Amino acid sequence: MAERELCGKPQTLAALKGGFGARPRPWVTPQALDTLARGRDTSGQTLMLHDAEDAVIRNRLKKMAKKLLGRSDQAQRSPIGAARPVAPTPKPSAPPAPQRELDLDLDDDHEEVDLEVDSAVIRDWTSEGRPWLFVDIREIPEMRAGHVVDAHLMPMGDVAQRQGELPKDRAVVVYCASGGRSFQIAHYLREQGFEDAWSFVGGMGSWLASGGEQLIAPSDAAFGPGADAALSPEAIERLGRQDQTNTGTIQEVRDTPEGHRYVLGLAKEGSLERLADLAADDLVKP
């Protein structure tokens, strides 16, 4: 695929990942996500824009054009009974140079992709009994500062490698800090066959502003949210998991009277098994 640019500048990894308050950026290709998942040094690496960029930009330009045309029509209408000013007769001039037209085709049948939901939609789904799952694709330091309770923690760079953990029998609602990164990942998941993948508008900030709860991990926890971890040999024997997958990611950390308690997420096809109420002694670094 030939390299493509946005506003004449290649999109780099630093521009892609963004942070709090980041504006939406071009979609991430599976190859770029896979590069991140493998932990390669991607400093300065140019990321390719997704093929769907043209369609989305086209839709947004159409919206802008329709608004501008509507304002123009309104400005040309005169109040009832009011005299319209007579414009002076222009002096003859040389014919204008031919200009290239922007073919927006405002009346075409191209359907704009709907990817976003907000807190009101989530509440409706819950009241209707529709199953859904929050997926946090922020970076690990952001998760440690607070994440949605019971969210599936999966950093953006791991999505290509770990998408098999996500269910296809329910809505998958991706969120980040402000909605930019989650929009990219929701679009990517749609292309991977997750037809019920969505981006949460406004990200974590919008969730908290609407009264949503968050879980903040203890700062002195041995394993933070999103960290890789595995069951210790003693825990494997105690739980009878000798022939099962025992390496995964920390999905939750709580401070209890008995000490810190962890939830270890273990990947299964289309789901994530969650082993709860684990102590620090039950875990080791893989």
Q: Tens digit of pLDDT per residue, the chain (286 long)?
A: 444 444 444 444 344 444 434 444 444 554 554 444 444 344 433 333 344 455 556 666 666 766 676 655 555 554 544 455 555 665 655 555 454 444 444 455 545 678 999 999 999 999 999 999 999 999 999 999 999 999 999 999 999 999 999 999 999 999 999 999 999 999 999 999 999 999 999 999 999 999 999 999 999 999 999 999 999 999 999 999 999 999 999 999 999 999 999 999 998 877 889 999 999 999 999 9
Q: Which of 115, 166, 176, 266 is catalytic?
A: 176
Cβ atoms 200, 207 nearer than 8 A: yes
176 is catalytic: yes
Q: Is the pTM of this model over 0.75?
A: no
**Which residue, among 214, 216, 159, 164, has the nearest Cα to 185 in the 3D structure?**
159
The pLDDT assigned to 106 comes to 46
Give dist(CA 206, CA 202) in Å, integer. 5
Identify the three-state secondary structure at position 9: strand
